[in-house]
Amino acid sequence: MNLSSSTVFAMLFTPEMVKSEEKLLPSQNEDVNLGEGRTILLLSGWQDVNIGDIAHTPGLLRVLLTFLPKAKVILWKRSLAIEPVKELLHRNFPNVKVIYGNVDDDKKVTSVEVLDAFKESDIMIHGSGPSVQGQKNLEAWLAATGKPFGIFGVTIQSVGKSLKELLSKASFIYTRETASLEVLSESGISGEHVSFVPDATFFMEIRDDQRAAAFLAENGLETKKFICAVPRLRRTPYYKFTDWKWSEERIKNVEETNSKYKEEDHAKLREAMIRWVRETGNKVLVCPEMVYEVEIMDELLIDPLPEDVKPYVVKRGYWMPDEAASVYRNAHSVLSFECHSPIIALHNGTPAFYLRQPEDTIKGQMYYDLGYDDWVFEIMETEGKQIADQLMTVHVNYKMAQEQIVKTNERIRKIYADAVELV
């Protein structure tokens, strides 16, 4: 079923599904067995309009539960969950208590559940994300408890006065790429407690094999015989599908940037798609990482294709990361302008290319840090033929590509294990 982003949000963000924080997940929050040992309060879950952002949370939960099996974990989800995300978390982590609650400008919390979690928890961990999204949450924790806190797998592009003051008190700061370490060092923040630890999505070990199998069968997508293509505009048009208030000038600038580059960027991905179909006779699945991308698939990746290629293209509406993981696991390769679909694919053993747009922050450095230099394409410096050539090289040397992924995943697991020792 292929749905527009507006239709998806009409379905997912109804008042009945997004309830008040006092009423969310009542069955999940009753009689939860949190296990033995000390208690970790994990702050994560920034938004649910992006399977990459959703994936941070189950990824870090799995890291903590794998390497600290006796610890109790309470998840403080920063944004209210849509129904499929609530269900995903509960199904995969039934013993993790999920709480909600805001922090006001005075760094105070009114949610009884959060205040109770403050008392119960021994340490607070800020989960993976594009920045220290939960700075106010950490400041509230520190003001109320004075207990330790740390940051696990974030990008830090700048350090202002208040953030520097906060970070100076952190027990550990793990950035998801080395570029952030340079930013911290230039700000006077360094030490053995500051290091590179990849985005927690690299450990998202949840799948929905049943739903994926049904979709693959329905669309004739054979295991390891189809590639996935994920589009992306240079600047995400959040004003179209959130309640964020943007000025007319900002909207204009975003639209102008997107209009300027969208055809140039996606023509390069289409060249790889065309080559794949014509040389292998196999299919392409066009799929989204963000909700709005459902509406740009036809315009940018499908309609401009030659007539002989179009019959080999399938598309997918917005989905959850567990189903995406199962589909990517069965794919031959994933080619994506988005950063996290390749991570989900790589964790599941599937080769993946990151087509990196300059507007997509410094987070892409993590691919170089992990040795995936040949699979990152700086889009302004790349021709479509280069992407297509590398795709066919991987196809010819597929076993070698898979072996590289296995070795890198082992390295990532070791980094997580070492990082959690400090926790």
Distance CA 206, CA 350 (A): 15
- Whether 128 maps to a domain, the answer reads yes
- Whether 262 maps to a domain, the answer reads yes
We report the CATH number of the domain holding residue 198 as 3.40.50.11720
For the residues 333-346, what does the mean pLDDT come to?
A: 98
Residue 29 pLDDT grade (very low, low, confident, very high; cuts 50, 70, 90) = very low
Percentage of the chain lying above the pLDDT 70 cut: 91
Per the listing, tokens 């964020």 go with 244
pLDDT higher than threshold 50 for residue 421: yes
**Are both 125 and 237 inside the same structural domain?**
no
pLDDT higher than threshold 60 for residue 33: no
Domain termination residue (choose one: 150, 174, 203): 203
Nearest to 212 by CA among 317, 322, 323: 323
What is the pTM (predicted TM-score) of this model? 0.91
| pLDDT tens for each residue of 274-306 | 999 999 999 999 999 999 999 999 999 999 999
**Are both 22 and 163 inside the same structural domain?**
yes
CB atoms within 10 A of CB 215: 20
Nearest to 42 by CA among 105, 82, 98, 108: 98
For the residues 4-20, what does the mean pLDDT come to?
A: 38
- Whether 389 maps to a domain, the answer reads yes
Query: What is the domain range of residue 328?
Result: 209-411
Q: Residue 106: its pLDDT value, please? A: 86
Average pLDDT, the chain: 91
Domain termination residue (choose one: 153, 169, 203): 203
**Are both 156 and 280 inside the same structural domain?**
no
Q: Residue 105: its pLDDT value, please? A: 85
For the residues 155-180, what does the mean pLDDT come to?
A: 97
**Are both 233 and 319 inside the same structural domain?**
yes
Per the structure, the count of domains in the chain is: 2
Per the listing, tokens 């997912």 go with 12
- Whether 421 maps to a domain, the answer reads no
| pLDDT tens for each residue of 400-416 | 999 999 999 999 999 99
